[in-house]
Amino acid sequence: MTNTEIRNQLPLEEVEYNEGVANLTFLDKEHGEILTVKLFSKTFNKDTKKMEDNPEQAQKAEEHSQKYFGVAFDDLNKAVGQTHDIYVYDRFCSLWEVEMVEKFKKDQEGEIFQTTIDEIKDDGKGIRIRFKHEGKTYESKMMYADYKEGLKDWFVNPNKRNTQYAKFEDKFGVSIENADEVVGNDIMVEVKVAFNKFAYAEIKKPKWAKK
C-alpha cells in the first residue's frame, strides 16, 4: 500500500448528495483537516460525461451504507455524528482499506528489473501477477474477460481463458491451480508500451520455469 494513513474515530459532520454521489465529510480536529469520503450509487459514462444509473453500483452503495452506518443510502444524513476510522490515500479517502496497484508510465518504456512474485490470483476476469518495484505494488495481467461499455459489465471469453491458462502454465511451469507454488520466486520484468498509449509489465519466462 502506498502513502496510506489511518485517522481514527473521526466524526461525520455533513452529508451532501450530488448526481448519485454521497459526499461524506469527516472532521479531523487534531490535524485541522476535513476529509471527504465518496459513496457512488451511479457510474460515470466517459462518452456522455454524465453519471448514469447502474443497478449493481446502487446495490453496492446500499450495502456499504448499511454495513458502515446502519442506514439506507438515501438516509445517510441520519448518520451525522457517528465516528469512523478513515483511510487516507494520496488522492482519496475511504471507509475501508483499498488495495492499491500502481501503473507504469510511458516514459518508463524499456526499463528492466528483477523482483519477486508477491501474489498470483485469478479474479474471474484474468490472472494478476503482483510484484513490487521501488517499494510500490505493480501487476502483470493476463486478461480473458472484456468490459462492454453498453452493458456496464464484464464478460468472460472461455476460449481466451483457456489460452491464457495455457500461456501461464508455459511461462511459469505450473497450472493456475498450483500458482501458489511459485509465489516468492524471482522474475525479470520489462516495461513495454502498447499502441503508443499504454504502459504495461511483461514478465520474462523465468529460468526456473523452463522444462
Query: Is 128 inside any structural domain?
Result: yes
Output the pTM of the full model.
0.67
The grid cell for 172 is 511459469
Average pLDDT in the chain:
93
Q: Which domain holds residue 158?
A: 106-209
Higher pLDDT, 148 or 182: 182
Place of cell 444509473: 53
Find the mean pLDDT for residues 30-56.
90
pLDDT at 191 over 50: yes
CATH code assigned at 118: 2.40.50
Find the mean pLDDT for residues 197-203.
93
Domain boundary among 38, 66, 94: 94
Find the mean pLDDT for residues 29-50.
90
- Residue percentage of the chain with pLDDT more than 70: 98
What is the sign, positive or negative, of the torsion defined by CA atoms of 65, 68, 69, 70? positive
pLDDT at 88 over 90: yes
Q: Does residue 132 share a domain with residue 163?
A: yes
Q: Does residue 113 share a domain with residue 66?
A: no
Domain boundary among 67, 94, 121: 94
pLDDT at 162 over 60: yes
Domain boundary among 68, 94, 120: 94
Higher pLDDT, 56 or 64: 64
Say how far apart CA 176 and CA 181 lie, in whole Å.
10
What is the sign, positive or negative, of the torsion defined by CA atoms of 20, 123, 139, 35? positive
Contacts for 33 with CB less than 8 Å, ≥ 6 apart: none
- Residue percentage of the chain with pLDDT more than 90: 79
Q: Kindly report, residue by residue over 95-153, the tens digit of the pLDDT.
A: 998 878 899 999 999 999 999 999 999 999 999 999 999 988 999 999 999 988 777 67
pLDDT of res. 98: 86
pLDDT of res. 1: 41
Query: Is 101 inside any structural domain?
Result: no
Query: Is 88 inside any structural domain?
Result: yes
Q: Does residue 86 share a domain with residue 46?
A: yes
